[in-house]
């Protein structure tokens, strides 16, 4: 999957309905990112009250929070629904790829990246000259 996925690439069948808000600026918080993804889902006719949507919003929160906390901020954001898949790509300014770690008393956490990998159907991290982009695909049904 590319860092700016085309819905045809996601489905491989040429039958797509792409839904994406037209905001050009990346969200500045996890709450703003969840709102943007919720808008995309609603435009696509996806209800927000399913476990798979809760998972998608959790993945959104984790990736955006990590981009803000560890990656120098969100530099790119894209959420697209095609059929029953959500493609989510988040860029940040750090070329360091995420790694699972065990939290400690002094440095709690370490659960987010394994959680993203477990909930998403596909996860890809690509580094580039000005940071990295993490792309995920989540099934909505």
pTM: 0.82
Total residue count of the chain as it appears in this document: 141
pLDDT tens-place string over residues 31-81: 999 999 999 999 999 999 999 999 999 999 999 999 999 999 999 999 999
Distance CA 91, CA 73 (A): 8
């Amino acid at each position: 999957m590319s860092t700016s996925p085309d819905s045809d690439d996601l489905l491989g069948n040429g039958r797509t309905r792409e839904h994406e808000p037209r905001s050009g600026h990346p969200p500045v918080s996890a709450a703003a990112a969840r709102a943007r993804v919720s808008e995309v889902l609603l435009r696509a006719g996806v209800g927000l009250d399913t476990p798979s949507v809760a998972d998608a919003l959790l993945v959104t929160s984790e990736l955006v929070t990590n981009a803000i906390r560890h990656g120098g901020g969100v530099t790119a954001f894209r959420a697209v629904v095609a059929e029953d898949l959500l493609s989510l790509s988040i860029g940040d300014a750090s070329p360091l790829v995420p790694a699972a770690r065990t939290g400690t008393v002094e440095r709690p956490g370490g659960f987010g990246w394994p959680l993203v990998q477990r909930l998403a159907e596909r996860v890809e991290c690509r580094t580039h000259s000005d940071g990295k982009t993490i792309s995920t695909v989540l099934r909505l049904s």
